[in-house]
Structure 1
Amino acid sequence: MIIVHDIFICKPGNASKLAKLFKEVMTGNSELVNIMTDMTGQFNKVVMVSQYENLTAYEQSWEKYKEDSEAMKKMKEAMAGYHDMYLTGSREIYQVW
């Protein structure tokens, strides 16, 4: 199993807004496990946790985002402007033993 952490360091006052937006937009996404905000450590951090059977499944999950489907159009519309909510981001991919 593969666990992926998509990490966003938000502008002050935007972490909870971004977490809420991700939760709303990602509803129904079977790979999504959790959306977390910091309680300690670096401030204004949002972590989106997802899991996949293997790296191939992870790579295949990106294909749906490339589609020009109605669902993807709605997602892009809902996510419009989210780049303005964070300063930087990163991705960590872990193998579960």
Structure 2
Amino acid sequence: MILVHDIFVCKPGNASKLAKLFKEVMGEEPEVVNILTDMTGQFNRVIMVSKYDNLTAYDKSWEELVKNEEKMQKMKEKMEGYHELYLTGSREIYKVW
């Protein structure tokens, strides 16, 4: 199993807005495990945690999302302007032992 952390460092005051947006748009996706905001450490972070059986399943989930044009369009509409809420981001992929 792998865990994927999509990490966003938000502009001050926007972490909760981005977390709520992710929860609304991505909350029903079966792979999305949690939407996290920081309590200690680096401030203004939102982390979306997703779980997959392996890297192949991770790749396949992206392919399936792109194929579903209607779903992709709805996500784009809901996520419009989200880039204004954060400064930078990264992705970390972990193997669970």
Normalising by the smaller structure, the TM-score range is: over 0.9
SS of residue paired to 1:77: helix
1:52-91 alignment to 2 at 5 Å?
Answer: 52-67=52-67, 69-91=69-91
Offset from partner CA, 1:10-52 (integer Å, 9 cap, x none): 0001000000000000132000000000000000000000000
1: CA distance, partners of 2:70 / 2:64 = 11
The match for 2:94 is 94
C-alpha RMSD of the superposition: 0.9
1: CA distance, partners of 2:96 / 2:14 = 31
The match for 2:4 is 4
1:41 aligns with 2:41: yes
Q: Which amino acid aligns with 2:57?
A: A
1: CA distance, partners of 2:85 / 2:67 = 25
2: CA distance, partners of 1:17 / 1:80 = 13
Q: Which amino acid aligns with 1:37?
A: T
1:31 aligns with 2:31: yes
SS of residue paired to 1:62: helix
Alpha-carbon shift at residue 68 of structure 1 (Å): 5.2
Q: How many residues align?
A: 97
Q: Give unmatched runs, 5+ long, in structure 2.
A: none
Q: Which amino acid aligns with 1:74?
A: K
2: CA distance, partners of 1:92 / 1:10 = 17
- When normalised by structure 2's length, the TM-score is 0.96
- When normalised by structure 1's length, the TM-score is 0.96
Q: Give unmatched runs, 5+ long, in structure 1.
A: none
